[in-house]
Each structure stands twice: as structure tokens, then as C-alpha cells.
């Protein structure tokens, strides 16, 4: 056993002896002994660390590589089993593993996929020359000053679109409920009224009168209602909110279709304005509408 190997074994033993079991507090004296022994271990294997850093081509990332080697030494001490191998052999594989991991993280241009596109890894802390001749880091050069504005605008557009979709659904549901109520009322009025049975004067009780049940809804009227609702939805999405392509009116020479669409959009705007006031989900829209009306 060489002097370096023996010194490493002694220093590792010092670290392990002064490391208390898990859950036990370490004394100040033990901490000082561990720090001193760990520093001695790093000093003894410093030539080996420098050799491995150059071997793995990490000279351009020297500080990061040294930090990885220190982590490798710390892990090697924790998992070292003297009866299986010498520490000088065991720590070599730990250092190699950490440096290999670092190489794949910071030197992606060494991978086959990166070589195909001739990618080059550079440090974000590297200093380049700015337009005025002053030093400029690559990180500040690639920073997008308009990114925050675009992010906020994108979030605003997303929330606005979600609010418009929710308001459109609320409007269509309101029309559907109103339409169903009218259909039910017509079906009820079209039913024959029950005959009134005159009770005899000498009779103690009259036989019960059988009243007809709720009249079934006309499927044709329901289909027509859904078609009208879909038409109104397309008008709202295409003309008011512009979240969908405009409604195709075909060849309308008289302009009646356009006028009907304009009237539908006008009524829809009024109805949705009233819904926004009553629904707490659209309170912000209602406040904005009131502010606009007050401004005008």
C-alpha cells in the first residue's frame, strides 16, 4: 500500500468515525475533524481530479467539474466498504460517474444528434462584446425584452376568449329555456280542456274528473329551436366576438339576411349585457360596461 493510499484510508476512517448515526447531533469537535479530514482527502487526490477533468474534456467548465468531484468524494466516503476494495479505487469510479453526468449536461454538442447539426455548447456566463464595445454576457444578449409583454397579452387574450365562450353559452342556454317554455305553453293550450261534470243536488259526492297529463313537446318545434339557437350562436361568435368565421349569408341580393343577422346581433348584445349584470361570473364585464356608459 502506497503512502497516498494509506493516508486516504486514514482520512476516510477519521471522517467515518466522527460522523454520528442518523438522528444524532454532531458536535463542534467532530465537525472540525470531518472538515479537516475531507480537505486532506481532496488535497491527496487533487492530481487525480485534474487528470479526470482533462480526460473528460471539461477544462472549460473547471469550477463545475471540481464541484462535481467534491460531491463524488463525499458520496464515496458515505458508501465506502473497506472490506470490498480500497478507497483509492472506489473513489475513481465515483469521480468518473459524476464527470460523465456533468459532461452530458453541459456538453450536449458531443452527442451524435448535436454533431449532425454542428451544435456548439457555450457558457451563459461568457462575456461578449456589445454594440457600444462594453462587455455583454450571452445570457443578457439572448434575453427577450418583449417576452413579458407577449406573455401578459397572451394570458389576457386567453382569459377574454374564455369569458366570451362562457357568456355565449349562458346566452344560448337562456334562449333555450325561453324557447322551451314557449313550446310547453303552446302544447298546454292546444290540449282539450277537461269536461266539467255537474254534481247532482242530492248526490253526496261527484265522481273524480280525470285530467289529462302534460302534453308532449312537438319534435319539429324542438328541432327548429335548436337550429335557431345554432344560428344565433354563429352570429354571436362571428359578428360580436369574432371568435369564429363570420356566418355565410350566401348570395343575398336584397340584404334581408344581413338585416336579420344585424337584428339578432343587436338583441344578443342587449341580452348578454343583462346576463352579465345578473351573473357574478361576468361582474368585471358589467363594471366595464358601466364605466364605458359613464364615460360617454
* pLDDT confidence tier of residue 70, bands split at 50, 70 and 90: very high
Closest by CA to 274, choosing from 262, 254, 295, 290, is: 290
Q: Please, what is the average pLDDT of the chain?
A: 79
Q: Are residues 89 and 20 in the same domain?
A: yes
Tell me: the pLDDT tens digits for 148-183? 888 888 888 888 888 888 888 888 999 999 988 888
Q: Are residues 165 and 272 in the same domain?
A: yes
Q: Are residues 163 and 291 in the same domain?
A: yes
Q: Are residues 23 and 97 in the same domain?
A: yes
What is the rounded distance in angstroms from the CA atom of residue 149 to the CA atom of residue 151?
A: 5
User: Is 28 a domain residue?
Assistant: yes
What is the rounded distance in angstroms from the CA atom of residue 70 to the CA atom of residue 72?
A: 5
Angle at 178 between CA 182 and CA 163, to 5 degrees: 165
DSSP letter for 127, please.
E
pTM for this predicted structure: 0.44
What is the rounded distance in angstroms from the CA atom of residue 206 to the CA atom of residue 221?
A: 39
Closest by CA to 240, choosing from 168, 154, 296, 157, is: 168
Q: Are residues 180 and 265 in the same domain?
A: yes
* pLDDT confidence tier of residue 270, bands split at 50, 70 and 90: confident
User: Is 290 a domain residue?
Assistant: yes
- Domain span at residue 56 reads 3-116
Handedness of CA 163, 166, 168, 170 (dihedral sign): negative
Note whether 225 and 183 are within 8 A (CB).
Answer: yes
Which of 94, 116, 138 terminates a domain? The answer is 116
Q: Are residues 111 and 163 in the same domain?
A: no
Q: Are residues 168 and 288 in the same domain?
A: yes
User: Is 15 a domain residue?
Assistant: yes
Strands 127-129 vs 135-137: parallel, antiparallel or unpaired:
antiparallel
- Considering its fold, how many domains does the chain have in total? 2
* pLDDT confidence tier of residue 132, bands split at 50, 70 and 90: low
Burial 212-221 (b: 16+ CB within 10 A, else e): eeeeeeeeee
User: Is 232 a domain residue?
Assistant: yes
Highest mean pLDDT: which range of 107-111, 147-151, 205-209, 290-294: 147-151
User: Is 147 a domain residue?
Assistant: no
Q: Are residues 291 and 175 in the same domain?
A: yes
pLDDT greater at residue 119 or residue 253? 119
Which of 60, 92, 116 terminates a domain? The answer is 116
Closest by CA to 186, choosing from 223, 214, 210, is: 214
Q: Are residues 78 and 174 in the same domain?
A: no
Closest by CA to 235, choosing from 244, 225, 226, is: 244
Q: Which three cell numbers stand for residue 211?
A: 285530467
Which of 57, 86, 116 terminates a domain? The answer is 116
* pLDDT confidence tier of residue 103, bands split at 50, 70 and 90: confident
User: Is 63 a domain residue?
Assistant: yes
Handedness of CA 40, 43, 49, 51 (dihedral sign): negative
Q: Are residues 108 and 160 in the same domain?
A: no
Q: Are residues 106 and 181 in the same domain?
A: no
User: Is 183 a domain residue?
Assistant: yes
Q: Are residues 52 and 167 in the same domain?
A: no
What is the rounded distance in angstroms from the CA atom of residue 74 to the CA atom of residue 77?
A: 5
User: Is 149 a domain residue?
Assistant: no
Query: For residue 166, what pLDDT is reported?
Result: 87
What is the rounded distance in angstroms from the CA atom of residue 1 to the CA atom of residue 5?
A: 6
Amino acid at each position: 500500500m502506497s503512502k497516498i493510499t494509506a493516508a486516504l484510508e486514514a482520512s476516510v476512517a477519521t471522517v467515518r468515525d466522527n460522523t454520528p448515526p442518523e438522528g444524532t447531533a454532531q458536535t463542534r469537535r467532530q465537525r472540525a475533524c470531518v472538515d479537516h479530514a475531507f480537505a486532506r482527502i481532496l488535497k491527496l487526490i487533487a492530481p487525480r481530479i485534474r487528470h479526470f477533468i482533462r480526460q473528460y474534456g471539461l477544462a472549460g467548465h473547471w469550477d463545475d467539474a471540481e464541484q462535481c468531484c467534491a460531491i463524488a468524494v463525499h458520496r464515496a466516503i458515505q458508501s465506502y466498504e473497506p472490506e470490498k476494495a480500497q478507497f483509492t479505487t472506489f473513489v475513481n469510479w465515483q469521480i468518473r460517474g459524476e464527470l460523465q453526468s456533468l459532461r452530458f449536461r453541459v456538453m450536449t454538442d458531443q452527442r451524435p444528434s448535436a454533431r449532425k447539426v454542428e451544435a456548439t455548447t457555450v457558457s451563459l456566463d461568457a462575456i461578449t462584446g456589445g454594440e457600444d464595445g462594453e462587455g455583454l454576457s450571452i445570457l443578457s444578449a439572448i434575453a427577450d425584452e418583449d417576452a413579458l409583454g407577449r406573455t401578459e397579452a397572451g394570458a389576457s387574450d386567453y382569459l377574454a376568449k374564455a369569458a366570451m365562450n362562457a357568456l355565449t353559452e349562458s346566452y344560448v342556454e337562456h334562449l333555450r329555456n325561453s324557447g322551451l317554455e314557449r313550446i310547453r305553453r303552446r302544447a298546454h293550450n292546444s290540449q282539450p280542456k277537461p269536461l266539467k261534470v255537474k254534481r247532482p243536488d242530492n248526490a253526496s259526492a261527484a265522481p273524480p274528473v280525470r285530467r289529462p297529463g302534460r302534453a308532449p313537446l312537438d319534435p319539429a318545434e324542438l328541432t327548429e329551436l335548436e337550429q335557431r339557437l345554432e344560428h344565433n350562436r354563429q352570429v354571436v361568435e362571428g359578428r360580436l366576438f369574432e371568435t369564429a368565421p363570420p356566418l355565410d349569408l350566401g348570395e343575398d341580393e336584397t340584404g334581408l339576411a344581413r338585416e336579420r343577422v344585424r337584428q339578432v346581433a343587436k338583441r344578443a348584445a342587449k341580452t348578454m349585457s343583462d346576463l352579465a349584470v345578473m351573473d357574478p361570473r361576468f361582474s368585471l364585464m358589467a363594471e366595464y360596461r358601466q364605466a364605458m356608459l359613464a364615460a360617454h
